[in-house]
């Protein structure tokens, strides 16, 4: 049996050219990467997930605790959503779903979505969903926990993707600094990182991906899956560790 991957992801891990897909869709990049290695992938992900969400899942989901005893590598495919503009603090923005009654929630949510692009431009992409220093802190804490549990378990990550999303006014000013901070952390922590901008940047910025300007088409998923399998292969193909 081939290697088994555990992927913590955001919507980039399960959105295709027409919207979200079930985790077992073979064209999604985690499954492309696993198939290239002759193995399988378990995806733990959510819309808008950032590094903090991955940490919460790692520490709070009993299914993940079970998986960690059996997987051969972990991939933290988060960080991209951390860099997005968030004109409202995250706790307020995510709290809109809890407003009642329903008509009030819909009106407030529509008003925020209409204002978000303009506010993103006006505030020049600040604040972000998660500051880079917190992204690094949560990733570092998560990796430390994994290495305490299973010191031999290979851990990988990703640098943030790019976007041209109208929902954010096309603004992505926080990405370069966040990518630099994550790259420096990856070197310190000995966590290999896949540079999504190098792999899928042209695909997104040329308009080949999802019409929302953020998620990928199947060509993008194939490129990311292939690139991730190349990054994983030296560790997993000679004889995986599980």
DSSP string over 171-231 = --TTHHHHHHHHHHHHHHHT--EEEHHHHHHHHHHTT-S-TTSSS--HHHHHHHHHHHHHH
For the beta carbon of residue 177, count every other beta carbon within 10 angstroms.
13
Which of the four pLDDT bands, split at 50, 70 and 90, describes residue 220? very high
Q: What is the pTM of this model?
A: 0.94
How far is it, in rounded angstroms, from Cα 131 to Cα 86? 11
Superfamily of domain 4-85+123-236: SGNH hydrolase (3.40.50.1110)
Q: Would you say residue 6 has pLDDT above 90?
A: yes
Q: What is the percent of the chain where pLDDT is above 90?
A: 93
Spatial CA neighbour of 157 closest among 5, 1, 2: 5
Q: Where does the pLDDT of residue 184 fall: very low under 50, low under 70, confident under 90, or very high at 90 and above?
A: very high
**Structural domain boundaries in the chain:** 4-85+123-236
pLDDT for 237 equals: 65
Q: Is the pLDDT of residue 242 over 60?
A: no
According to DSSP, residue 74 is labeled E
CA–CA separation, 158 and 174 (whole Å): 16
Rounded mean pLDDT, 98-105? 94
């Amino acid at each position: 049996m081939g290697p088994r991957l555990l992927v913590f992801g955001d919507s980039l891990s399960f959105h295709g050219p027409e919207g979200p897909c079930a985790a077992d869709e073979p064209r999604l990049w985690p499954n492309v990467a696993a198939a290239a290695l002759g193995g399988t992938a378990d995806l733990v992900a959510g819309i808008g997930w950032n590094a903090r969400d991955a940490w919460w899942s790692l520490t709070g989901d009993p299914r993940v605790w079970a998986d960690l005893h059996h997987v051969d590598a972990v991939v933290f495919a988060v960080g991209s959503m951390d860099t997005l503009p968030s004109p409202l603090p995250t706790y307020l923005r995510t709290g809109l779903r809890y407003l009642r009654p329903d008509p009030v929630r819909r009106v407030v949510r529509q008003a925020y979505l209409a204002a978000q692009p303009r506010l993103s431009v006006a505030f020049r992409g600040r604040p972000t969903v998660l500051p880079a220093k917190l992204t690094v802190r949560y990733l570092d804490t998560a990796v430390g926990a994994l290495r305490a549990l299973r010191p031999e378990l290979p851990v990988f990550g990703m640098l943030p993707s790019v976007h041209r999303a109208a929902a954010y006014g096309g603004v992505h000013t926080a990405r370069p600094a966040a990518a630099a901070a994550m790259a420096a952390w990856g070197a310190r922590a000995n966590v290999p990182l896949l540079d999504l901008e190098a792999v899928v940047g042209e695909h997104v910025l040329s308009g080949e991906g999802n019409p929302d300007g953020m998620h990928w088409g199947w060509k993008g998923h194939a490129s990311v899956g292939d690139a991730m399998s190349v990054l994983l292969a030296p560790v997993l193909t000679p004889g995986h560790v599980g």
